[in-house]
Amino acid sequence: MKRTAPILLKLAITSGLLWMIFREHRFSMEIWPHLRAMFTHWEWTLAGLACVGITTWLSALRWQILLRGQHQQVSSREVLRITLTSNFFNIASIGALGGDTYRILALMTKPGARKLPLMVSVMLDHMLGMVGLGILFLSCRVALMDRLDNLSPEVQAILRGYELFMGASLIMTLLSVISFTPKLYNWGEHRWPRVLGFEPLKKFASACDALRRDWRGSLLATGISVLLFVFHFQSFYCGIHAVGGTAPVLEFLAAMPIVDTAAGLPISVSGLGVREKTFETLVHALTGLPGAMAVSASLAGWLMSMVWGLIGGLVFISGSRATSLDLSTAEAGTP
């Protein structure tokens, strides 16, 4: 019961939010016609799908850089295959961390793989993702400085609150990188030997120090993170045009980090419902996009990600079959 309760709560929140949104905007009369327009504006739909594909490739590239920092050498093709398949587990798993769990387990079968470096690489992958998201948001925030007075007090409060959140996140990330350095950690170990002298914790800190040791790779991974989110958000921007709408790019990019963060909260299934309501509120406030069209664009962007997730599922199934055939051949050849 303890395991099923969070899942049931997520399903309830997702179902409740979607029901409220579809009831407010009359799904069959307002939202469904916009979604059908994706076939009419097929060039924007294809562009959005391409953006999701580029996002997946950039995700694999960033993770591969961090794996090298942990002395885990994995081919680009293998990292891309695992990243693509992890997208499937992200949409297929109702629980949290489905894709991350698969990434670790998939590499654990490789010769020379070690659990701690793999886990740390995934953790640092998310950490630098947050840094890239913060850089993108704060850049857009500065660019829109002269336009904030035209927004409602509620939207201004949301933007300022998120600005503080991102600023604090960047500072905490910097402090974490500094705290993992050998000199500072050794100083802390002398002060608190019972806590920081714990051997598994020392190994964890040493693995995390890869951000400093391989600082060139860390800077490259951070730059990739910014580019990754640009393409990720552009898939939703293409979704706006695919459903027949239009919006200024800069204002849209300023809203999307908040939308993406809200959708990433572990309170709904794949962010459904939460993403659509946040998208409707902020994108409408910043760009003037009508509510029903904003919800439709959010669903269109999610459907584009679903397509790549299903492709990842096909890759997983084909890989499992290939492994089964190899094992069968090996067993048949065994005297």
| Greatest pairwise CA separation for the chain in angstroms | 79
Dihedral pair phi/psi, residue 220, rounded to 5°: -65, -45
Looking at residue 144, its pLDDT comes to: 84
pLDDT confidence band for 335 (50 / 70 / 90): very low
Burial string for 121-132 (b: 16+ CB within 10 Å, else e) reads bbebbebbbbbb
Section 279-298 average pLDDT: 93
**Higher per-residue confidence, 302 vs 327:** 302
pLDDT above 70 covers a percentage of the chain that reads 93
* Distance separating alpha carbons of residues 186 and 199, to the nearest angstrom: 13
Looking at residue 70, its pLDDT comes to: 93
Looking at residue 91, its pLDDT comes to: 80
Q: Which of 90, 99, 164, 100 has the alpha carbon at shortest distance from 134?
A: 164
Quick check: helix, strand or coil at residue 290?
coil
Other CB atoms within a 10 A radius of the CB of residue 86 amount to 25
Q: Whole-number mean pLDDT of the chain?
A: 88
**Higher per-residue confidence, 240 vs 146:** 240
Looking at residue 322, its pLDDT comes to: 53
Q: Cα dihedral sign for 239, 243, 247, 252?
A: negative
Contact at 8 Å (CB) between 209 and 116? no
Q: Cα dihedral sign for 208, 211, 212, 213?
A: positive
Contact at 8 Å (CB) between 104 and 118? yes
Section 105-130 average pLDDT: 92
State the residue for tokens 């910043």. Answer: 286
pLDDT above 90 covers a percentage of the chain that reads 61
Section 75-92 average pLDDT: 90
**Higher per-residue confidence, 144 vs 32:** 32
Extract the tokens encoding 101: 């769990």
State the residue for tokens 């309760």. Answer: 5
DSSP H/E element including 66: helix 42-69
Looking at residue 325, its pLDDT comes to: 42
| Amino acid identity at 68 | R
Burial string for 9-30 (b: 16+ CB within 10 Å, else e) reads ebeebbeebbeebbeebebeeb
pLDDT confidence band for 3 (50 / 70 / 90): low
CA atoms within 13 A on the CB side of 161: 8
Section 134-162 average pLDDT: 87
Residue 204 contacts by C-beta under 8 Å, 6 or more apart in sequence? 116, 120
Extract the tokens encoding 129: 């993702």
